[in-house]
Amino acid sequence: MRICLFPGTFDPVTLGHVDIINRALPLFDKIIVGIGINTAKAPMFTPDQRRNWIAEIYKDEERVEGAVYEGLTIDFCKKIGARFILRGIRYVSDFEYEKTIADANRTLDKSIETIFLTGEPKYTSVASTIVRDIIKNGGDATPFLPEAVAKSLLK
């Protein structure tokens, strides 16, 4: 079984994230959206809220599930039996950063491969950081968000 981990903070889940997951679905038997707990970051949304968004967005797709993890991504891959790590690339600068992480992960475990997918051009500007800033300042972030996320923010 080809299990893939798509790690990130997903704070919040954006249309860019959903684009990468949807385009990766034909490649894998299961995609686990790994919501990493990074003590250096102060997230806007709880890990449970982010996992619930993934569950709601993919309620009709049993091959996608959300999970929360702490520690090294490579260790979480081993725990869930993932042989692939999925990463989305928007810009060349993303690739340079992501390649450094992929190289480190390969050094830690050569059996786990990182797969890069480039985002659809229409989602290139969709970054969680920008979306959080729009939300914090009372703007309308719905053009950047899946319906399930947008609806929950309106409550």
Q: Which positions are annotated as active-site residues?
A: 17, 41, 90, 128
76-101 in b/e form (b: 16+ CB < 10 A) is: bbeeeebbbbbbbbbeeebeeebeee
Go through 125-142 and write b for each residue having 16 or more CB atoms within 10 A of its CB, e for each that does not: ebebeebbeebeeeeebe
Peptide bond preceding 12: is omega within 30 degrees of 0, i.e. cis? yes
State the Cα–Cα distance between residues 79 and 86, nearest whole angstrom.
16
